[in-house]
């Protein structure tokens, strides 16, 4: 009965560094998506009391309705998983994680007679420490006590979810989101000792995009991170060769001119003579070591730093090609050729546009990775984009939940199985 029940009531949760993707197996191919953030409004404000909406924390699609002054955003707007790890004692971030989880589960609350809670598959960064697993289990237990929406829960690493979604048991997964990038070799299961973590993701590209907007005369708009991200996604390009791309873009300014109109407003951003800089944004994600970026560092833009968080060392400036090679070479020599045969790219940080008319100087993410590996002497490598890079982790969660036996209890040594909150 439990296996049949799971086919109806498996629920996937992908706690990405930028977005929280969630939904049940019945959602089909695409989950619901909200930003992985929470806003703590000023509860002392009289208007909050008058309107009867003195919420402690706001999550989901209503956040824009509560935003106050720009200068308050840095202290009131909390992104709990900036680098994939929530500090153990960071109470505000854990509060946001709980509210987001509750938000997602309540949206799909079921009133059917046979419903007795979802089988929830949550996915975390491959480098998430054990205490995060414990905390996610506790959060779901608390939510079930309040709502009876969770029957059992399990947790899998994001790269494993990607491999499961694509049914490739031996591969290297690059999962790159807002805050970080994970390079994870998989041979039936993640090879944890070979994981390479990078302190670089979509947020770093946003930082560079903000500097470009300032140079183009949009310093006021560059303060709003959500807008900067939209502009980056709309105009950013990945170059075949950065020097060549800049040269061509400057010689043919009309062909490369970058404009973006903000939906629902009168605001139009036009990079004009700075349109060549759209190539900098993509290059920076894949390889921040080009000398042209030094000028931005000198002006005060933060360089991606090498940092240690808990037991995990995050590389700041390592290019993606070197990161893959470093990861694979920590694995047995016999396994290495098989890993290079399947390099999977997943995450929103690989969703770069490639206008056909600019393909002489711009490339997609898979081609860029192949070029970086070729520079390191790695030939005959197969690099593949996830079919829906933003959603591949969530899809893997659904497949895993559907397939994992309901009676398999959680095992802390193997880090797999279900934590049941009730049997029936």
Average pLDDT score over the chain: 89
pLDDT at residue 321, as a whole number? 96
C-alpha to C-alpha distance for 172 and 379, rounded to whole angstroms: 15
pLDDT digits (tens, 9 = 90+) for 116-125: 999 999 999 8
Helices then strands, each counted (H, E), the chain: 16, 20
pTM attached to this predicted model: 0.82
C-alpha to C-alpha distance for 23 and 108, rounded to whole angstroms: 7
pLDDT digits (tens, 9 = 90+) for 334-361: 999 999 999 999 888 898 989 999 999 9
Planar angle of CA 304, 307, 312, nearest 5 degrees: 130
pLDDT at residue 401, as a whole number? 94
In this structure, what are the phi and psi dihedrals at residue 4, rounded to the nearest 5 degrees?
A: -65, -40
C-alpha to C-alpha distance for 338 and 163, rounded to whole angstroms: 14
pLDDT < 70 positions in the chain: 1, 43-54, 67-75, 423-424
C-alpha to C-alpha distance for 12 and 10, rounded to whole angstroms: 7
Strand partners, 363: 238
pLDDT at residue 357, as a whole number? 94
Q: Which domains does the chain have, with CATH numbers?
A: 2-159+390-420 (3.30.420.40), 201-303 (3.30.420.570)
pLDDT at residue 338, as a whole number? 95
pLDDT at residue 178, as a whole number? 78
């Amino acid at each position: 009965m439990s296996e049949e029940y799971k086919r109806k009531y498996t629920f996937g949760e992908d706690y990405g560094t930028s977005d929280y993707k969630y939904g049940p197996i019945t959602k089909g191919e695409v989950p619901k998506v909200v930003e992985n953030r929470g806003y703590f409004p000023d509860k002392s404000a009289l208007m909050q009391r008058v309107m009867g909406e003195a919420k402690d924390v706001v999550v989901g699609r209503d956040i824009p309705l509560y935003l106050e002054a720009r200068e308050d955003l840095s202290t009131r707007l909390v992104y709990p998983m900036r680098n994939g790890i929530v500090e153990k004692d960071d109470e505000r971030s854990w509060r946001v994680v709980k509210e987001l989880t509750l938000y997602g589960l309540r949206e799909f609350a079921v009133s059917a007679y046979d419903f007795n809670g979802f089988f929830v598959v949550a996915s975390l960064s491959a480098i998430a420490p054990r205490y995060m697993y414990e905390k996610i289990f506790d959060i779901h237990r608390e939510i079930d006590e309040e709502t009876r929406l969770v029957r059992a829960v399990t947790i899998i690493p994001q790269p494993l979810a990607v491999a499961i979604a694509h049914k490739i048991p031996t591969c290297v997964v690059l999962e790159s989101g807002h805050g970080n990038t994970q390079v994870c070799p998989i041979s039936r299961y993640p090879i944890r000792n070979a994981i390479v973590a990078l302190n670089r993701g979509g947020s770093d590209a946003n930082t560079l995009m903000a500097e470009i907007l300032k140079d183009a005369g949009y310093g006021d708009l560059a303060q709003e991170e959500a807008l900067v991200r939209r502009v980056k996604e709309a105009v950013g390009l990945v170059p075949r060769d950065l020097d060549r791309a800049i040269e061509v873009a400057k010689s043919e300014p009309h062909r490369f001119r970058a404009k973006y109109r903000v939906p629902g407003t009168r605001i139009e951003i036009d990079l004009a003579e700075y349109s060549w800089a759209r190539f900098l944004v993509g290059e920076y994600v894949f390889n921040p070591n080009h000398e042209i970026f030094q000028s931005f560092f000198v002006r005060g833009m933060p360089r991606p730093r090498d940092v240690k968080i808990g037991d995990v060392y995050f590389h700041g400036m390592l290019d993606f090609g070197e990161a893959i090679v470093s990861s694979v070479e920590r694995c047995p020599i016999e396994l290495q050729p098989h890993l290079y045969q399947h390099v999977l790219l997943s995450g929103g940080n690989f969703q770069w546009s490639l206008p056909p008319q600019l393909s002489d100087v711009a490339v997609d993410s898979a081609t860029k990775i192949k070029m970086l590996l070729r520079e390191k002497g790695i030939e005959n490598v197969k690099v593949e984009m996830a079919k829906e890079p933003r959603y591949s982790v969530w899809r893997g969660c659904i497949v895993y939940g559907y397939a994992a036996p309901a009676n398999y209890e959680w095992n802390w040594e193997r880090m797999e199985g279900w934590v049941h909150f009730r049997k029936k």
